Each structure stands twice: as structure tokens, then as C-alpha cells.
Amino acid sequence: MATKETTAPESSVAKISDAPALPVPASAIAWAASLASMMADGQSGGHGKYDTIDRALRASMARLTAGVSIHSAGSAWMDWMTHLARAPGRQAELREKAVADAWKFAFDVMGPYGPLGPDGGFKADADDHRFDHPAWDHAPFRAWKQSFLAIEDWWQEATSEVRGMHHANADRVSFMARQMLDMASPSNSPFLNPKIIERTVRTGGMNLVEGAQNLMEDVAREITNAPRPPSPEFRVGETIACTPGTVVYRNELFELIQYAPQTETVHAEPVLIVPAWIMRYYILDLSPHNSLINYLVGQGFTVFAISWRNPGPEQRDMSLDDYRRLGVMAALDGITNIVPETKIHACGYCLGGTILSIAAATMAGEGDQRLATVTLLAAQTDFTEAGELMMFLDESEIAYLEDMMWDQGYLDQRQMDGAFRALRARDLIWSRAINRYFLGEEEEQFDISAWNADSTRMPYRMHSDYLRGLFLENRLTAGRFAVNGRVIALKDIDAPMFVIGTEKDHIAPWRSVYKINLFTENDLTFVLTSGGHNGGIVSEPGHRHRHYRIGHRTPEKKYLDPATWFESHNPMEGSWWVEWREWLGRQSAADLVPPPATGATKEGLPPLCPAPGTYVYER
């Protein structure tokens, strides 16, 4: 399988604007000159050139707003205000709540012997740790905390959906109000936060000196666009992403790693890991003790993994279908050459699971029976309930992102990081700022945090295909997703499936992941595990405080809605990894075999370099 240069075909996934995707010159002067030349060339059919002017303007605006559409935000507030203005009953209800909250606050200020007692007043959410310091329950800090929680309580009610307004706008307004309130929290002030005051007194102000140094470092790094220094403790290829293996295939999109066997005999069917391309692959190969890949190899499986390339402007025209064709299918072809006449267990994580499901449905429709099983880890196939990320996405927002990517050739990791941090601003922005700038504390390093800081870019065309074809239009489960001119269907997949959802996933909510039960008719095992999008997947045996629920659906069984499924399956202590290993064993041939050779030189797959390869180091 020789590497060759490929020109991306016209995508059948999603249509974007037919404006020419002009490369942006390095200097602004050259770019302006080329634009002026294009405008003066006298060509007929001027829609393209004028559209280019508009796209360039929107791209500039998107850079100023970090990719957030001002129109989307403004229209959401306008929708809320106009509907609220025409709802006198709702206005009266909010006035009544404001009075009730004011009285509740006043009574709470009286202290534990007041009408509300020691447990009265407003309570922070269970996952809100801003007010954990015991001094927040005593004067004067309690008054500041309670006044803030009272305001937060009222705004939460005020920004709930008003009858008649668009549901997405209601969510967006509530989210934006929460962002503004989080910014104004008394916990963010060094003069109001008892933890900061206590630390300042105890250290003689050295915490503020150290915090100022941290702030200057971060500002300098932001201005110079310098990456954060790598963790000295967690080094790729040494302490993380260090399961022994060899790169046996490379093309312009990915490297294929074949991991060295750790047992004398192995299951005949190999496992292919398809990770998400929004981050590095080694979320599934962290430290040796919590590496899913290392665990599988130690259990007698031959494991292959895709390590995606970090795309630059030269990959701007890579489409979503290229990730299927030059990614998943090329990896399957390579494994077939190494382990011929053997079916393959395919496993996809997050976006990797989505593209794997598309590939599996396409293969099933074409009669390609190479897949022994399909495993999806926190991967969505239906996007009607795609979680909090949907608050950012509408036609205006996607147009902003498309134009910014059109200008750059890709979506930068910093631009993506901002959206993910905003979803959990309380923890990822404000609490981090308090600890780093006011308490002078360095962030504790973990292998998963080192991985989280090692993000990648997204090609312009692929990300546009993904956002429009899947997130915005939900084509895959709506029967409108075409590959090679043919609409595909998930129900064509007859290979057994093992699907994982995580309880606290804000990226791929488990109820959204669970909806694959509506669109498939095969043998399907669904597991709901504790934890979030990453922590729930990295859940090795022996990890404390872990549990999961597991259910098995055979083709003849009736559908269970998520709530009913949850109530009818009791939690089990431990790691879902053990369940998956046993399930893979049951879906494999009974007899173990000697490990296959590394690569297949005669078939054009010679060993190229040791794992983790070269693409994982690209910046």
C-alpha cells in the first residue's frame, strides 16, 4: 500500500458556498492587491468576487470575536426580550420571584437563629466548589455569597424559555447570562474571597507576587502565540503514549501503529482503534497503568491504532469523506494485508466513532464483511440532542466559522479550546484564574491534563462538512447522508456493536449516544459508565469510585427509552474495560494463534519507525 498524493473529490456530505476558496497570501498587502485585481478583472457573473469580499470581512470579524457570531448572540437576546415584553403574566411572575428572593436573602442575613434556621438561604449547586471555604458561611462573607446566589437564582428563572421563543435561543440566553454571572462572582475578587485573604495574610502577600508572575507569563505567551511548555513529568513516547509498537503505514492523513505483542498467543482477530482527530490519539494510551491500548495488548489482542496528522493550511481541502476513505478504510486495508482473511474488531472514540459508524454503514451497504464487531466510545450518530455544543451552532455561527477557516485553512486549536472552556467556565476559567493568579498555585499535572493541552487543528473543508452535514442537518440518521452518491443507513450494519456512554458527558451526552438503539437492528450491548467524556473512558480496572450499567439488546427486543433503560439496569462497581474485554473474547475465534508479523513488507507496509511515530509530534 504505497503512499500517494490525493486530490480530495467533491464532497457528497455537505455543500458549502460555491465561492472560490482562494489561498490567502502571507502579507496583508499582497492579499489586498490580489483582491483588488480580482475585483477589477471584469469577469461576468460577479457573485463570486463580491461573496469573497463578504467572506473576508466576516473572517476578520470572526477573528476579533474568537469565532462567535455577534448576530447569533444578538438575535437570541432579541428573541427573549421581545417575547418577554409581550408576556405580562411572566413579568409579574418574575417580579414576584424577585420579592421572594429578596425576603429570603434578608432573613438569611439574620444568621442561624433567624426564621430560616442554620440551613436556610440559597444553596450552591453540588458541583459548585467556589464557596467551599468554611468562612463563606460566616459574616461578612455569607452576605456576599448569599446576595450573589440570590441574583443567580433569579436570572436562572428569568432566562428560562418564554412561550413562543425559539428553544435554542432560550438555551443560548441562559448560557450567556450564566457566563456573565460567573464573571461577577464574589469568589473572583481578592478582596471578597476568604481563601485569598487568608492565604495573603499567611504568606505576607507572596501568593500575589507569585500570581502576578504567573499572569505575566500567560499574557506573554498569549501575545506571542507561544505554546505552553510541555510537562517535564509526562513526555510523549517516554512516560505517556509509550506502549511499544511500530508504525507500519503512513499517508498524508495518518500513521498506522501496530503494537508489539505481550503474550505468546493472541486472539486471531485484531483490534483497530480509530481516535478523534480533534485531539491526539494517545488519550487511549496514557500512562502504562491507565492505557486502554496497553491493557488490550496485555490481554492477548493484536492492536492497531490510527495516529492522525495535525493538519495545516495545505490540508485545507481534506473532506470528511477523506477521513473515511484515506483514514478508516486505508487502515482497514493495511490491517487486511498484515492479517489476511481475518475479520477486524473496530473501535472508534468520539469523532472517530462517528466516522467509524459511517464507514461501517458504507461497508455493509457494499457487502464488505471485514468487520467482526463495532465499538463506539462516547460517539454520537444522531445529533438532535447533541448537548451544550449545540448552543453555539446555527446557520450564522457556522458561516462565521467557515469563513474564518476559509481564511486560515483550518480551525486553530486555541479557537476550539475557547468553546470547550466556555462550557465549563466556572471550573476551567475562573477557578483556574483564582488558583493561578491570586493563590499563586501551579496547576497539578496529570497525564490526562498533559494530553488535554496537546490539541490539534481541524481542516477547513472537513470541519465544514462535519458541522453542516451532521450537527446542523443531522443527515446520518435522517436518511440523507450520501457516500459515493449512495445514501447509507446505520441499520445495514449487522456486526455486533458495543456502545459506551458516560454519565457526565457534556460533549456527547449519553442520551444522545444511546439513540443509536433507534437506528440499528443488530445485536447491541450498551454500557453507561460513571465519569465524563474523557474520564469515563479512561477507567482502568482498580480505579476507585467507578461504576457502570450494562444492557444487551438482541434484534427481536423492543426499544427502551433512556429513562426506562437507566431505571431497569442497576449499577455495577468496577471498570467497563473488563466487560469489553470479555465481550471481544466472545466475539472472537475460540483458538488463540501466534502473533502476526510486524507490518507486511511484500505488501508495501514495511516497518517505518517506532511508536508513537512522527505525526504525534507535529505542532
Q: Provide long-range contacts, Cβ within 8 A and 24+ apart, for 517-522.
A: 517/553, 517/559, 517/560, 518/382, 518/477, 518/559, 519/381, 519/382, 519/477, 519/489, 519/490, 519/491, 520/490, 520/491, 520/493, 521/491, 521/555, 522/493, 522/494, 522/495, 522/496, 522/497, 522/555
Query: Cβ of 215: how many Cβ atoms within 10 Å?
Result: 14
Please state, in angstroms and rounded to a whole number, the distance separating the CA atoms of residues 575 and 537: 9
- 146: cell is 448569599
Please report how many Cα atoms fall inside a 13 Å half-sphere around the Cα of residue 203, on the Cβ side. Answer: 17
Please state, in angstroms and rounded to a whole number, the distance separating the CA atoms of residues 481 and 423: 29
Tell me if the bond preceding 612 is cis, omega within 30° of 0. yes
Query: How far is CA 536 from each of CA 290, 452, 533, 539, 612, rounded to the nearest angstrom?
Result: 12, 15, 6, 6, 24
Which one of the listed residues 242, 347, 350, 609 is annotated catalytic? 350
Q: Which of 400, 379, 378, 402 is nearest to 462 (CA)?
A: 402
Residue whose entry in the numeric block shows the C-alpha cell 458549502 = 16
Please state, in angstroms and rounded to a whole number, the distance separating the CA atoms of residues 67 and 75: 16
What b/e string do you get for 285-323 counting C-beta neighbours within 10 Å, with b at 16 or more?
Answer: bbbeebbbbbbbbebbbbbbbbbbbbbeeebbbbbbbbb
DSSP E strands in 252-400: the ranges are 254-259, 266-267, 271-274, 303-308, 344-349, 371-377
Q: Confirm whether 350 is a catalytic residue.
A: yes
Amino acid at 533: H
Please state, in angstroms and rounded to a whole number, the distance separating the CA atoms of residues 286 and 295: 11
Query: How far is CA 265 from each of CA 35, 262, 268, 581, rounded to the nearest angstrom?
Result: 63, 9, 9, 16
**Partner residues linked to 2 by β-bridges:** none
Residues ≥6 apart with Cβ < 8 Å to 294: 243, 285, 288
Please report how many Cα atoms fall inside a 13 Å half-sphere around the Cα of residue 263, on the Cβ side. Answer: 17
Residue whose entry in the numeric block shows the C-alpha cell 505525526 = 615
- 551: cell is 444492557
Amino acid at 461: R
Query: Cβ of 18: how many Cβ atoms within 10 Å?
Result: 9
Q: How does DSSP classify residue 301?
A: -
Burial environment of residue 281 by CB neighbours within 10 A (0 to 12, 13 to 18, 19 or more): buried
Residues that are catalytic = 350
